[in-house]
Amino acid sequence: MPSRTAWQALAQHPLGFLASAWPWRALAYLLSGVVFGAIAMVTLLIMAATGLVSLIVGVGAVLLLAVALSGIVVTRIERHRLRLVDPDPAPDPHRAPERPGLRGWLDTRLREPATWRELSFTAVSMTALWWMDLLVLAFALGLPPLLMTSPMDDPRAWPWLVIGLCLLPAAPYTITAWAGARAALTRLILAPRDGELGRELTEVRASRARLVDAFDAERRRIERDLHDGAQQRLVSINVMLGLAGLDAEPGSPVARQLALAQGEVTLAVNELRELSRGVHPKALTDHGLDAAVGNLTTRSALPVTVDIRLPYRLPAAVESTGYFVVAEALANATKHSRATQAEVHARLEADVLTLTVRDDGVGGADPAAGTGLVGLADRVAAADGRLRISSPAGGPTLLRVELPCR
Amino acid sequence: MPLNIVLAEDSPLLRDGLVSVLTRVGHQVPAAVGDADALIAAAHEHDPDIVITDVRMPPGNADDGLRAAVALREHRPTLPILVLSQYIEQSYATHLLDLGSETGIGYLLKDRVSAVTQFASAVEEVAAGATVMDPEVVRQLLRRRQDPLRRLTPREREVLSLMAEGRTNGEIARGLYVTEAAVNKHVSSILQKLDLRLDGQGHRRVLAVLAYLRA
């Protein structure tokens, strides 16, 4: 695996690293840091001093403004230099100016937090960082030769020669370690904040939740269409058949046929009802989680105790995720666990809905084995929630879900 | 004795079917409407003997029909209400029974309309002040109250669910092919086991049983 930064190279292959390009890149980073730091410091000091002196004339204000904005230029160069030891791109945190022209550019830049972060980095860089570069270079590359040459003046100082020789191989490590630290600090300060770059990141997260929302909305729509369309039609056909039955001679073949037809339509109506209930329970839309879970448990073959106390209706996405969790957990308990009873418990505390489903079955529910639990976990994760399960062999099984309701 | 009926159902097809059934058995339907607001207006205008309404309808397409019925009931506490629903949802049944009714309340699945004669007699019972609950509701309530019901024999449980549907002892006896005396014995045994105090007749007995099952 190739190393991605100087620091990684140092940590992963402490010996092979010596033969790689990384020590040289670190050296280049520090050398350019010293040169650039010195030039920038002198330039900025002169500009600031001239600005202060000529403030009376008015030109000074422009110079001081340039100093204030200097961070933009300095850090742009710093980002380029960063590639020497950390090739990952460091994106520019600045927004595009809202209006064209110099005024628009100035307006945007002066009101951006990134600009001031860059100025403070420049200040730190001027006062400390490039001096540190200088010190490290002096210690790693300057000190060993100094020690090794000391016996020339005084033959009894030969131990210094040994110490110098020992220090020399350490130089690449010292240089790379500091270069890596400096690069990490630079990246930390200069990388765009979540709010600047993060529009993309939050978009991605939100879209996953949106997908689930869209899916829920679609289920609600299908349920409504079934209810308003096919179900009503079938029921009215059945009513017509019933009316026709009134006109038929009791016991005649026509009456028998009509009764048969009615029986068939009734079965179809029942099947359709079960189907649409599975798609999206109506009570969930109308009355919320408590009522929907109550209805679910009255139909369940397993006796279930429900204790759901919520102060108000929760967001639709939370309600349907919660319902889905309970339905799936109870279905699992009924199918696999040989449980004799189950409990559903829900409370809202500090904007988090905590749902627990417990059954006294044989346990051994394994997320790796069934797709049901994995589906649940996906569903809960999409709602930014947590799902935990405890199901030792021999039971009981406890499933706990926390869903944020913001 | 023809009844004066106001009807609310949002599906035109089923609305027509319902009107046909009701007029066919000799009742009058001065207003058949398709949304909750029109239901309230029609009920105030025609002062019916009974209101029959679907649960889900415009304007909100949620439980607007049920809420309109509850509002009408508050306005006129003796107005008989028969609610028809595509689904049996316990929460709706409970909501209705919470009206603290001394007079007719009914909750039936829409499919029951197709059994024309039974449906017609359910309408008449509710209009006369009885409580009619869909067997499906009773079945679910029975399932919910597993614990004390375990003390009942299977036959007693059968009798209890028929009681909850509003049958008299005579009807129960005919339905189960036993003598009325046997049913009386079952009933008193049930009452003893469940610690229920019932004043024998009609819908009060139903309400007591339902109240017990819901508790």
Q: Tell me what pLDDT residue B132 has.
A: 86
Contact B21 A239 (CB under 8 A): yes
- Average pLDDT over every residue of A118-145: 88
Q: Tell me what pLDDT residue A253 has.
A: 93
Q: Tell me what pLDDT residue A190 has.
A: 82
pLDDT tens for each residue of B3-13? 999 999 998 98
Residue of chain A nearest B19, judged by CA positions: A239
pLDDT averaged over every residue in chain A: 85
Q: Tell me what pLDDT residue A358 has.
A: 92
pLDDT confidence bin for B162, thresholds 50/70/90: confident
Q: Which residues have a Cβ under 8 Å from the Cβ of A386 and sit 6 or more positions away? A: A380, A401, A402
Pick from B122, B113, B126: which is nearest to B50 by CA? B126
Q: Which residues in chain B have Cβ-Cβ distances shorter than 8 Å to A299?
A: 140, 143
A287 touching chain B per CB within 8 A: yes
Q: Which residues have a Cβ under 8 Å from the Cβ of B210 and sit 6 or more positions away? A: B97, B131, B133, B138, B141, B164
Q: Both tokens of residue B19?
A: 């009107």
Q: Which residues in chain A have Cβ-Cβ distances shorter than 8 Å to B146?
A: 303
Q: Give percent of chain A with pLDDT exceeding 70.
A: 95
Q: Tell me what pLDDT residue A196 has.
A: 65
Q: Tell me what pLDDT residue A371 has.
A: 57
Which has more confidence, A383 or B19? B19
Work out the minimum CA distance from A240 to partner chain B, whole angstroms.
Answer: 7
Work out the minimum CA distance from B89 to partner chain A, whole angstroms.
Answer: 6
Facing residue for B114 by CB, picked from A228, A239, A291: A239
- Average pLDDT over every residue of A74-82: 89
- Average pLDDT over every residue of B60-82: 89
Residue B91 has pLDDT above 80, yes or no: no
Q: Which of A148-152, A195-199, B55-59, B90-94 has the lowest mean pLDDT?
A: A195-199
Identify the residue among B61, B66, B111, B145 best suited for mutation to test binding to A, counting A beta carbons within 10 A and taking the highest.
B111
Work out the minimum CA distance from A242 to partner chain B, whole angstroms.
Answer: 5
Which region, left, alpha or beta, applies to residue A60 given φ > 0 means left and ψ of -120 to 50 means alpha?
Answer: alpha
A259 touching chain B per CB within 8 A: no
Q: Which residues in chain A have Cβ-Cβ distances shorter than 8 Å to B117?
A: 246
Contact A243 B116 (CB under 8 A): yes
Which has more confidence, B64 or B97? B64
Separation of alpha carbons A196 and A93, rounded Å: 6
Residue A248 has pLDDT above 60, yes or no: yes
Residue B201 has pLDDT above 60, yes or no: no
Residue B54 has pLDDT above 90, yes or no: yes
Residue of chain A nearest B67, judged by CA positions: A286
Contact B17 A240 (CB under 8 A): yes
pLDDT tens for each residue of A306-360? 899 888 889 888 998 999 899 888 888 888 888 888 999 999 988 899 999 999 8
Q: Which residues in chain B have Cβ-Cβ distances shorter than 8 Å to A239?
A: 14, 17-18, 20-21, 113-114, 116
- Average pLDDT over every residue of A65-90: 86
Alpha helices in A55-156 (DSSP H): 59-68, 70-82, 101-110, 113-124, 130-137, 143-149
Residue B47 has pLDDT above 90, yes or no: yes
Q: Which residues in chain A have Cβ-Cβ distances shorter than 8 Å to B60?
A: none
Contact A269 B111 (CB under 8 A): yes
Q: Which residues in chain A have Cβ-Cβ distances shorter than 8 Å to B91?
A: 283, 286-287, 291-292, 294-295
Separation of alpha carbons A93 and A197, rounded Å: 7
A277 touching chain B per CB within 8 A: yes
pLDDT confidence bin for B146, thresholds 50/70/90: low
pLDDT confidence bin for B202, thresholds 50/70/90: low
- Average pLDDT over every residue of B186-200: 73
Measured in whole angstroms, how far is the alpha carbon of residue A201 from the centre of its chain? 7
- Average pLDDT over every residue of B53-76: 89
Residue B37 has pLDDT above 80, yes or no: yes
pLDDT confidence bin for A369, thresholds 50/70/90: low
pLDDT tens for each residue of A179-208? 988 988 888 888 777 666 555 566 666 677
> How many CB pairs below 8 Å do chains A and B form together?
93
Q: Which of A170-174, A190-194, B51-55, B158-162 has the lowest mean pLDDT?
A: A190-194
Q: Tell me what pLDDT residue B102 has.
A: 61
The SS3 assignment for A251 reads: coil
Contact B111 A286 (CB under 8 A): no
Work out the minimum CA distance from B59 to partner chain A, whole angstroms.
Answer: 13
Facing residue for B13 by CB, picked from A233, A265, A270: A233
Contact B111 A270 (CB under 8 A): yes
Residue B113 has pLDDT above 70, yes or no: yes
Residue A1 has pLDDT above 60, yes or no: no
